[in-house]
Amino acid sequence: MFLPFYDQNPKRFVIKPYVNYGLILITTLAFTIQYILPQNAENYVIATFAMVPYWFADGRIDQIPFVPDEFTFITYAFLHGDWLHLLSNMLFLWVFGDNIEDALGHVRYLLFYLLCAAGGAGLHFLMFQGDLSPLVGASGAVAGVIGAYILLYPKVRVYVLARIIVPLPLPIPALWVLGAWIIMQFVYVILPQTDSVAWWAHIGGVLTGMALVFLLKRPEVKLFQG
């Protein structure tokens, strides 16, 4: 088990990663509101903004007011199941997202993040078309950030807290840290499912992020240089 908390990767183009800060703030505020709502109101929020594969598979057309069903391929990423779910996603976004914003630019990074969320939801939908369970969480979008980071900065040292006997801060190349994380997502989809983690959404996000970084990065930013 490891948790990243810092990377030795100074930004080159962006002084402040305002979009990354904004995504973390908006996502945290959204879950805080979700958390303090009465149960029936929270259920309505989830029914409105979460992505439910069955709604698309059975041809349902906008039975929930205000939010077209297609928008839930993005809005689901701003809801979370619990505080641990939120904090783990936001920690990864805090450590790695600023450098992806630096490599892409503010506007393209926002587009990148939202498309990675949609890519994660899309693969989850393809794998679970009859599922009534709502998909929530920024994991697909954050996985896209991880996918882009490993292509751009594989050599960068990432400091992680690794639980060996006691938690220790260790500097490890991003290729090892994030490569291991990506491999484990594929391992988990093969193993019998004993929890509600949307592993396919993670994989969809990673693959989307890896594809989009080729299209959206600044021309002067080279792959595999970090």
User: What pLDDT, in 10s, does the model give residues 27-66?
Assistant: 999 999 999 999 999 998 998 899 998 877 665 555 555 6
| CA angle centred on 219, ends 217 and 224, rounded to 5° | 65
What is the pLDDT, as a whole number, of residue 47? Answer: 86
Q: Which of 85, 88, 106, 202 is catalytic?
A: 202
Distance CA 37, CA 18 (A): 28
In a domain, residue 98? The reply is yes
Q: State the average pLDDT over residues 81-96.
A: 95
Residues 16, 18, 21: CA angle, nearest 5 degrees: 110
Q: Is 139 a catalytic residue?
A: yes
Is 80 one of the annotated active-site residues of the chain?
Answer: no
Pairing of strands 157-163, 2-7: antiparallel
Average pLDDT over residues 56-77: 74
Q: How confident is the model at residue 116 (pLDDT cuts 50, 70, 90)?
A: very high
Q: The dihedral of CA 182, 187, 190, 195: what is its sign?
A: negative
> Is the residue at 182 inside a domain?
yes
Task: State which H helix or E strand residue 56 sits in.
Answer: helix 53-57
And the tokens for 155? 């050599």
pLDDT of residue 225: 80
Q: How far apart are CA 57 and CA 37, in angstroms?
A: 30
CA distance 104 to 12: 11
- With respect to residue 38, please indicate whether it lies within any of the assigned structural domains: yes
Q: What is the tally of structural domains in the chain? A: 1
Residue with tokens 């002067």: 220
Quick check: is 221 in a domain?
Answer: no
The answer on pLDDT for 165 being more than 80 is no
pLDDT digits (tens, 9 = 90+) for 179-216: 999 999 999 988 877 677 899 999 999 999 999 999 99
Asked if residue 225 belongs to a domain, the reply is no
CATH number at residue 200: 1.20.1540.10
Asked whether residue 196 is domain-assigned, the answer is yes
Instruction: Give the range of the structural domain holding residue 121, as residue numbers without chain letter.
Output: 2-216
Indicate whether 222 belongs to any domain. no
> Is position 226 within any domain?
no
Q: Which amino acid appears at position 140 of this protein?
A: G
What average pLDDT is seen over the chain?
90
